Amino acid sequence: MPAIRNQIRELRAAREMTQQELADRVGVTRQTVIAMELDKYSPSLETAFKVAIELGVPIEQCFQYDPKGRR
Amino acid sequence: MPSLSYREKTLYASLVAEILVYGPYFFLHQKNSVNKVAGMIIAIIVLQVVLQLIIAAFTRNRTTDERDRLIELRGYRAGYLMVASLMVIGLAMLWFHTTMGQLHLDNPKIGLHFLSVFFGMLVIADITKTATQIVSYRRTL
């Protein structure tokens, strides 16, 4: 399990938002959104906050930290 | 497999350009000269510009973000480590050949030989940098 997990895919799907739309709003590429959803990339704190704001949830509902997870 | 970002496309283009230009120089002939090195530098610049222009023309979204910058830094770190390692190996070989009396510094082509070796180190480091960046896009960061 990765150290930082997220619920971006689920939250985005619930809002019927495409990866490209979220990427444009946050200011990253669609490939970065894909990498985040696949837990292949842990974003910076600033980007994590932006994602949470765009999805309309508190950051802890969008991102979770597991100290025993792999980095 | 997700589609390639603008940055990834430019990296693949760079790798192709590097292999197309540097490959023949290092593997098809051994008679290197200052003119060939200069020609190669011009060739790689022209080829890179042409390929980047083509990619830019066919890519709508050309934004880069923090992940691109992180991967770029990883590539430069790998390239630096490669060139530093090759420098150490090169100096060790230079010392070895000098102490063994196999290096003739009065040879008129010694400067060209050093230029070729030094240029080769830079080329290997550049390819390492590009390849590292391409691999990093497919790996977990």
Q: What DSSP state is assigned to residue B104?
A: -
CA nearest B70: which of B139, B16, B17, B125?
B139
Give the model's confidence band at B77: pLDDT under 50 very low, under 70 low, under 90 confident, else very high: very high
Query: CATH assignment of A4-64?
Result: 1.10.260.40
d(CA A10, CA A1): 18
Question: What pLDDT shows up at residue B2?
Answer: 54
Strand A63-65 with A4-6, pairing: antiparallel
Give the model's confidence band at B1: pLDDT under 50 very low, under 70 low, under 90 confident, else very high: very low
To probe the interface with B, which of A18, A31, A38 has the most B CB atoms within 10 Å?
A31
Tokens of A48: 């994590």
Question: What pLDDT shows up at residue B14?
Answer: 93
| Mean pLDDT score, A35-56 | 95
For chain B, give the mean pLDDT. Answer: 87
ipTM: 0.87
pLDDT tens track for A2-39: 788 999 999 999 999 999 999 999 999 999 999 999 99
| Mean pLDDT score, A49-66 | 94
List helix spans (H) across chain B.
6-27, 34-58, 66-99, 110-138
B60 touches chain A (CB under 8 A): no
Residues of A at the B interface, defined by Cβ within 8 angstroms = 2, 27-32, 34-35, 39-44, 47
Residue B30: pLDDT above 80?
A: no
pLDDT tens track for B109-125: 788 788 888 888 999 99
For residue B5, give the nearest of A29, A41, A44 by CB distance: A29
Residue B29: pLDDT above 70?
A: no
Residue of chain B nearest A45, judged by CA positions = B66
Question: What pLDDT shows up at residue A69?
Answer: 75
Chain A partners of B6 at a C-beta cutoff of 8 Å? 29
Give the model's confidence band at B133: pLDDT under 50 very low, under 70 low, under 90 confident, else very high: very high
For residue B65, give the nearest of A27, A34, A39 by CB distance: A27
Residues 6+ apart with CB under 8 A from B124: B82, B83, B86
B97 touches chain A (CB under 8 A): no
Contact A31 B61 (CB under 8 A): no
Contact A47 B66 (CB under 8 A): yes
| Mean pLDDT score, B85-96 | 93
Angle between helices B66-99 and B110-138 (to 10 degrees): 150
B66 touches chain A (CB under 8 A): yes
pLDDT tens track for B45-69: 999 999 999 999 988 878 889 999 9
CA nearest B65: which of A1, A53, A31?
A31
Calculated CA dihedral for residues B118, B121, B126, B127, nearest 10 degrees: 140
Q: How many CB pairs under 8 A join A and B?
A: 47
Determine which helix (DSSP H) or strand (DSSP E) holds A65, and give its type and residue range. strand A63-65
**Phi, psi torsion values for A16, nearest 5 degrees:** 50, 45
Query: pTM here?
Result: 0.84
